[in-house]
Amino acid sequence: MQAASATSSSSTAAIMNENDDDDSNPPLMATYKHLLAESRLDADDRTTTMMDDDHHSRRCVVLPVIDLQHGEEQCRAAIVRAASEWGFFQVTNHGVPQALLDELHDAQVAVFRRPFKLKEREPLLDFSPESYRWGTPTATRLEQLSWSEAYHIPLTGTTPPATSSSGDKTRLVIEDVSTAMSELAQKLAGILVADLRGDEENVVSRCTRSTCFLRLNRYPPCGAAGGAFGLCPHTDSDFLTIVHQDGVGGLQIRNDERWLAVEPNPGALIVNVGDLLQAWSNDRYRSVEHRVMASAASERFSVAFFLCPADDALIRPRISAGGDRPAPRYKSFTFGEYRNQIREDVRLTGRKMGLQRFRIQGEGPL
C-alpha cells in the first residue's frame, strides 16, 4: 500500500501528536489526516462518529477461563458452552510454553522496530513481501482505518533447518509457536465439532499446518485526538482463532448492541470461533464481531493463529444428531469460494459481507 498524502485542513486541528516521525512507524498519521480531510468532518463530528458508543465500551468483561489441565473430558462441556454463548473464551495450561510466547514477543518487538521503509521494501526472512501490511489499503473513511501493522504469515508444512543467526532464531520461534498453537487449535476444534460430526469428511482434518496463518500484530500508540481503531470491527473468516495478547488491553467484543472491553490476561490464550465454524455448526457456535481500540499511551502487541482448512474443503451446515433436525441456515460453500466472495465484496463495496452472503433466506437471524 502506498502512503496516502497528508492534506492540510483546518479539521486537522483534531490531531495532537505526530507519530510518523518515528522511522519505524508506518505513515498512519498522514493517512489519518488524509482521510479526515476527505471526510470533511470537523473535529467535533469526528469525535462523535468514532466514540458514539464509548460509554458502553468502557464496560469490561472477563471472558470465561477454561483450565485445560483438567483434561479434555472435564473441559468439553465448558468449551462447548463458551463457544455457543460467547464465541470467545480463554484457556490456561494450554500447552504453548510461556517461555516460547515470551521469546516470540521479543522477536516480534525487534522485527517491528526496523525502519518502515525496510519493512515495506524487503521481505522478512523467507516470507513473501505481501506478508507485511499496515493500515487499511481499501479505506476511504476514517472508521475503516486500522491503526496497526502486521506480518500475516502463511505457514508451511515443513520447518526450516536450525542455524545460529538471529534471523533463523526468529524463524524457529515463529515455527515453534505455530506448531504449538496449531496443535491446540486442532484439539479445541475437535472438541467443538465432536457433537455435530456427520458421516462426511471431518473439516478439522482438512486444516493442516500448511493451510493456516500466523499473524504478528503491532498497534503503535495513536496520537489522533478522536482515537482510532487499532483493528476495525470484524469477524474472523477462518474456522477457529487463537490469540496471545500482552497486558496493554484494547480488544473489545460485541455483545448484543454493546462493545465490551476484554480484560487482558497475558497468562491465558484467547480462543474465538470463526465464520466457518459458525456456518458449519449451523449457528450453534458464534463468530462474534470484535475490534481493537488503539491506545494513546502504549503500543500493543498480539499474535493470532488462524486455523483454516484447504481451499476446497466443503463447509456444509451440520445438524446435531439428537436434535429435532432444524433446516440448514447456510448454503454449502468451500473455503476458497468464501475467501473469493469476501475479496470481491471488499473490492466492490469496501467491506466484508461475510456469512450473510451464504445465509439461506428466512433461516435464522441475520
Ligand X SMILES: O=C(O)CCC(=O)C(=O)O
Residues at the site binding ligand X, with contacts judged by CB under 6 A: 215, 217, 231, 236, 243, 245, 251, 290, 292, 302, 304
Q: Which is nearer to ligand X, 26 or 317 (CB)?
A: 26
CB of 12 or CB of 302, closer to ligand X: 302
Beta-bridged to residue 359, according to DSSP, are 330
Pick one of Fe ion, ligand X, none as the site partner of residue 251 (Cβ within 5 to 8 A by kind).
ligand X
Contacts of 2 (CB under 8 A, 6+ apart): none
Residue 206 CA neighbour count, 13 Å, CB half: 18
CB of 236 to Fe ion, least distance (A): 4
Q: Which residue of 20, 236, 238, 299 would you call a contact of Fe ion, by CB under 5 A?
A: 236
**At closest approach, how far in Å is the CB of 290 from Fe ion?**
6
Residue (37 or 251) nearer to ligand X, CB: 251
CB-based contact 177:283 (threshold 8 Å):
no
Residue 292 binding target from Fe ion, ligand X, none, CB below 5 to 8 Å by type: ligand X
Q: Cβ 145 to Fe ion, closest distance in Å? A: 16
Cell readout for 153 is: 504469515
**Residue 218 contact, options ligand X, Fe ion, none, Cβ 5-8 Å cut-off depending on partner type:** none
To the nearest whole angstrom, how small is the minimum distance from the Cβ of residue 91 to Fe ion?
Answer: 17
Containing 82, the helix (H) or strand (E) segment is helix 72-85
Rg (the chain; Cα; Å): 21
The three three-digit cell numbers of residue 107, written as one number: 522477536
Cα 364 off chain centre by: 26
**Bridge-partner residues for 293, per DSSP?**
229
- Residue 275 binding Fe ion, by CB under 5 A: no
Q: How far is the CB of 351 from ligand X (least distance, A)?
A: 15
- Any contact of residue 149 with Fe ion (CB under 5 A)? no
With CB atoms as reference, the residue minimizing the distance to ligand X is 302
Q: Which is nearer to ligand X, 103 or 236 (CB)?
A: 236
Nearest approach, Cβ of 354 to Fe ion (angstroms)?
A: 12
For residue 22, the number of C-alpha atoms closer than 13 Å in the C-beta half-sphere is 16
Please tell me the count of residues contacting Fe ion according to CB under 5 A. 1
Residue nearest to Fe ion (CB): 236
191's contact among Fe ion, ligand X, none, with CB below 5 to 8 A by partner kind, is none
Sheet with 251-255: strands ordered across: 60-61, 258-262, 251-255, 290-293, 229-234
C-alpha cell at 339: 475467501
Binding site for Fe ion (CB under 5 A): 236
